[in-house]
Structure 1
Amino acid sequence: MAIRVRITLHFFIFQSIQFTVMWVLFVAIVVLNASVIAALLCTNARKSRMNFFIMQLAIADLFVGLIYVFPDIIQKITIAWLAGEFMCKTVKFLQAVVMYASTYVLVALSIDRCDAITNPMNFSGSWNRARALIVSAWLISIVFSIPLLILYEVKEVQGQMQCWIDLGTPRRWQIWMSLISIMIFVLPALTIAACYAVIVLTIWTKSKAVVMSPPINSRRTKTMRNVFVLCWSPYIVFDLLQVYDHIPPTQNNLAIATLIQSLAPLNSAANPLICCMFSPHIYTSLRRVAPYKWILNRGRSSSMTRAPVDTRRTQLLVLVSSRD
């Protein structure tokens, strides 16, 4: 009896932590990406290629919060699936589409930065190529998500109706998870890494007169690659170890797996932070947007009111020290 109570308590703790993490992720993804979109809409340089890709990435990541994270939060509240077979397939399909889109728009951005450095003379007139990269990213996401329309169904699981996927044998789960890992992690990570390698090689080999600003692009691509790997690795590695039976299916491990799976959208919260880090004009543009204008200006005014006090205090200390 004591063991059963302890297991139930541990599971409740993990569920509470997961629920909190999902809400924090949802708020962070929506607020950060909405802020980036608002800033880009207000900036005078929003028609630049870099801003175009940042905008597309922020839109994809915003959809991750609204379409992927929020329905999962609702599912945690209701526990049972109440929306029927059609919505089951539709929601799971759209969730997969936005997750893939967030990843492959990031890949498109990396390819574009690589193109900007390797072909600087032809870069300015390649807007059609930029749009083609974004369209391709969404088309790839849709194609990769189509199997979910077939595999997901509403069925009874432990006495409650759930939107469920059942592949049957462990071997099928191993193949499925391996394919998912390749499509959403391995292939994008290798592409981004290849773009970074080409950028670095080009910077080293071309003259300084041709590449004055690309080091910023290099650092941005490197940071995005590293953050992408850090955000996705726990989810991919744990799930692969689980389906290949390297992690025993204990109650605690199942709870940990559920918690780690809730971290899958973490990269969508990190992307806007990286974009702001390497694009200071986004922060500057936020000062024109309410309520950021009020918050930032209030912080600035409070610091300015403290400045005269600090100045008088410094002058007094100098006067005292001179008398000594």
Structure 2
Amino acid sequence: MGEEEIALQVALNETTEINTYDFYATEQLAVLWVLFLLIVLGNSSVLLALAFNKNRKSRMNYFIMQLAIADLAVGLISVLTDIVWRVTIAWHAGNVACKVIRYLQVLVTYGSTYVLVALSIDRYDAIKHPMKFSGSWRRAKLLVVIAWAVSAIFSLPILVLYEEKLVQGQLQCWIELPYQWQWQLYMTVVSVALFFIPAIIITACYTVIVSTIWRKGSTIIVIKRSYKGISTDKVRLEHDHESRRASSRGLIPKAKVKTVKMTFVIVFVFIVCWSPYIVFDLLQVYGYVPKTQTNIAVATFIQSLAPLNSAANPLIYCLFSTRDPPQQDMSQMGEDLGAALGGSISTTLSDSLRRGRRTSDRRGT
């Protein structure tokens, strides 16, 4: 992304004797090329799979598609241009291109993060407010538009800050802030906007989702019955102490287990991918990391892993979306379970499945 060079630039403000060529070794390029291929192939595969999916019009698939588009843009715009910059070392595209390209790099990085936030909010509504959740496409599209609008606004300072500068005898697309407090302010704002705000929102949404399902969720008990030689399955959804008692017998509904796992993976991967970059830059800009050539080299390697989240996202959502039976997807799971949170329900298994399919077709979630 556009901020990947910040740690290096901060250090060079006070240690200009360090040779920048040392930081663009073959190993760094190899890491970036691997990330580029993973991001492009992974997200292209997701988009291709959605194109041939019979349920591609579902609300959940819509968000997965938007996330894949944003992550693919990270690979094609942010990672690829960073690879070119590391190969050429100097900047040869002029000042206007410097501003535009850096702006687009930051825009797609924010976009990838905030589309994930939009998806989290949508799943929160589906589970927490099932009776008000109409599955309207207008709301889904509005969340995505807001995600990109917020990303565009947060990226605006890049148009002013980045300039074509002469650095160590070569032209660079560079941020030049004369005072250390300005770097501290800049990195603090970037960290809050890019990492802390999304992490808090995502964590809060999925915490409420898990809490709601575990607090009000019903244990599905299948009772075999035989009537005039015809075997039927009856489903009873029970609450509170029955649910806890069933949990102790290992009868926790699959939806609960799946939600817990998905919550852990989403939050964990997002934090793991971004925290090294954010933490290291904050420590460096506030003077807790000595400005040595070794530390700057380590910083460039850590920051090159930031786009890893865009490579991991398609794997996460493909993993959990393909575990459902053919007639269900994650969105239907959330809506069907959410509809059951209001009280005890007793019905036949076949009726339950038919109602689930009708609900999915009607709401398009």
TM-score w.r.t. structure 2 length? Answer: 0.72
SS in 2 for 1:272: helix
Which amino acid is 1:87 matched to?
A: A
> Which residues in structure 2 correspond to 1:159-198 (within 5 Å)?
159-198=169-208
Does 1:221 find its partner at 2:231? Answer: no
Which residue is equivalent to 1:131?
141
Report the alpha carbon displacement of residue 207 of structure 1 after superposing the two structures with TM.
Answer: 4.1
> Which residues in structure 2 correspond to 1:91-240 (within 5 Å)?
91-208=101-218, 209=237, 214-215=255-256, 216-240=258-282
Q: What are structure 2's unaligned runs of at least 5 residues?
A: 1-17, 219-236, 240-252, 327-365
Contact 1:43 1:281 in 2 (8 A): no
SS in 1 for 2:25: helix
Report the alpha carbon displacement of residue 128 of structure 1 after superposing the two structures with TM.
Answer: 1.2
Which of 259, 268, 277 is equivalent to 2:319?
277
Contact 2:59 2:135 in 1 (8 A): no
Residues 197-254 of structure 1: CA deviation (Å, up to 9, x unaligned): 1101211222414997753344323311111000001100111111011111111111
Percent identity for Structure 1 against Structure 2: 57
Does 1:17 find its partner at 2:27? Answer: yes
Residues 271-311 of structure 1: CA deviation (Å, up to 9, x unaligned): 011011101179x9xxxxxxxxxxxxxxxxxxxxxxxxxxx
Which amino acid is 1:111 matched to?
A: I
Which of 31, 36, 40 is equivalent to 1:26?
36
Query: What is the alpha-carbon distance in structure 2 between the residues aligned to residue 131 and residue 185 of structure 1?
Result: 23
Query: What is the alpha-carbon distance in structure 1 between the residues aligned to residue 62 and residue 304 of structure 2?
Result: 29
Which residue is equivalent to 1:318?
none
Query: What is the alpha-carbon distance in structure 1 between the residues aligned to residue 158 and residue 212 of structure 2?
Result: 41
Query: What is the alpha-carbon distance in structure 2 between the residues aligned to residue 105 and residue 213 of structure 1?
Result: 27
Query: What is the alpha-carbon distance in structure 1 between the residues aligned to residue 143 and residue 214 of structure 2?
Result: 26
Report the alpha carbon displacement of residue 269 of structure 1 after superposing the two structures with TM.
Answer: 0.4
Q: Which has the higher strand share?
A: 2
Q: How many residues align?
A: 275
User: How large is the Cα RMSD of the aligned pairs?
Assistant: 2.1
Which residue is equivalent to 1:256?
298
- Bigger drift between 66-75 and 202-211 goes to 202-211
TM-score w.r.t. structure 1 length? Answer: 0.81
Q: Which has the higher helix share?
A: 1
SS in 1 for 2:63: helix
Q: 1:213 to 1:140 in 2, by over 3 A?
A: farther
Q: 1:89 to 1:210 in 2, by over 3 A?
A: farther
SS in 1 for 2:270: helix
Report the alpha carbon displacement of residue 127 of structure 1 after superposing the two structures with TM.
Answer: 1.8
